[in-house]
């Protein structure tokens, strides 16, 4: 499927809660292909959520396996439909960026470990326990499904927001 255009802040769809997926069908499978292709084409991207490509459905993909921060601790490509964090533990502040906010990065506090339940592409309930960078990436993408951007979670607007020098 083709790489999709990423919506950028302040597009209003980025601030809306995505709709739950009622049925996994060919339309949803095509959406996931678009998300994976778009993620892989993005510079340094480790995830993308459906609202970022203009689709208000609760679907996202995450894959930190090719990123230096996630290379040693990951589950590979995660395809998550209707995901929900059911447990979270720990806390750390980490610098985040986002294809929907291409000119900035920011210091965001996130849980260091999460357990997420979701549906896979067969409509089956799954659970994954993630930690470290993968847990942060999952939380970032799930925020997109709730209409939350990392800008909403900056630890300090005065000292925690940075203009991006280059995009990679």
Query: Does any domain span residue 100?
Result: yes
CATH number at residue 112: 3.90.45.10
Into how many domains does the chain fold? 1
Rounded average pLDDT over 27-35: 98
Whether 42 maps to a domain, the answer reads: yes
Per-residue pLDDT reduced to its tens digit, 60-111: 999 999 999 888 999 999 999 999 999 999 999 999 999 999 999 999 999 9
Q: Residue 165 has what pLDDT? A: 75
Within a domain: 4: no
Q: Is residue 88 part of a domain?
A: yes
Q: Which residues is 168 bridged to in the sheet? A: none
Query: Is 72 marked active-site?
Result: no
Is 2 within a domain? no
The pTM (predicted TM-score) of the whole model is 0.95
Q: What is the pLDDT of residue 37?
A: 97
Task: Check pLDDT > 80 for residue 35.
Answer: yes
Catalytic residue selected from 72, 96, 107, 141:
141
Residue 5 within any structural domain of the chain: no
Q: Is residue 60 in a domain?
A: yes
What range defines the domain where residue 116 resides?
A: 12-163
């Amino acid at each position: 499927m083709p790489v999709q255009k990423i919506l950028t802040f302040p597009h209003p769809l980025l601030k809306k809660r995505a709709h739950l997926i009622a049925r996994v069908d060919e339309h949803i499978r095509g959406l996931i292909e678009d998300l994976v292709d778009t993620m892989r084409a993005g510079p340094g991207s480790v995830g993308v959520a459906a609202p970022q490509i203009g689709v208000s459905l609760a679907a996202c993909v995450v894959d930190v396996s090719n990123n230096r921060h996630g290379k040693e601790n990951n589950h590979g490509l995660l395809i998550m439909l209707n995901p929900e964090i059911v447990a979270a533990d720990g806390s750390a502040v980490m610098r985040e960026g986002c294809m929907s906010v291409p000119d900035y990065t920011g210091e965001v506090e996130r849980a260091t470990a999460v357990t997420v339940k979701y549906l896979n592409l067969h409509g089956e309930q799954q659970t994954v326990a993630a930690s470290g960078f993968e847990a942060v990436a999952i939380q970032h993408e799930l925020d997109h499904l709730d209409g939350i951007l990392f800008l909403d979670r900056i630890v300090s607007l005065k000292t925690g927001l940075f203009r991006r020098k280059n995009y990679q």
